[in-house]
Amino acid sequence: MAAQNGRDLLLKIDMTGDGLFETMAGLRATRLTLNAQSVDITHLGSEGWRELLGGAGMRSAAVAGSGVFRDASTDARARAIFFAGETPDFQLVIPDFGTMTGSFQIASIDYAGSHDGEASFEIALVSAGPLAFEAAP
């Protein structure tokens, strides 16, 4: 895989619950973290090596993004999701890799601004169910 523009890594939100996704407003940076807990089944007969139970354990994903306000509708949707505690579908588009889709809860939204600059925000999402992955063509 050749080097890709960071701006091509997109976080999208299902605006109305109908499966039509729109890119989150003004993101400048986005990050995806995938986690899988292991289940240790090591016992006295393991011959000195740790043993793990395949296919067991909890999997999770976390998405973080930061940027500037440019789109009132996605900003309003994110605030509404947070205050209502909803877990709508989001998409993370990873260039030349694929698209991950699933329900996420907004864990935090940070707003900041300075007197001589633009208003900015940071958002953190945590997975709230199974995720689907579609590989890039």
Structural domain contains residue 59 = yes
Structural domain contains residue 100 = yes
- What confidence score (pLDDT) does residue 1 get? 55
Per the structure, the count of domains in the chain is 1
Q: Please give the Cα distance from 75 to 67 (Å, whole number).
A: 11
- What confidence score (pLDDT) does residue 36 get? 93
Residue 29 and residue 11 in contact, taking contact as beta carbons nearer than 8 Å: no
The parent domain of residue 15 ranges over 6-135
Amino acid at 58: M
CATH of the domain at 18: 2.30.110
- What confidence score (pLDDT) does residue 4 get? 58
pLDDT more than 90, % of the chain:
54
- What confidence score (pLDDT) does residue 69 get? 78
User: Average pLDDT over the chain, rounded to whole?
Assistant: 89
Identify the segments of the chain with pLDDT beneath 70: 1-8
Q: Please give the Cα distance from 23 to 14 (Å, whole number).
A: 9
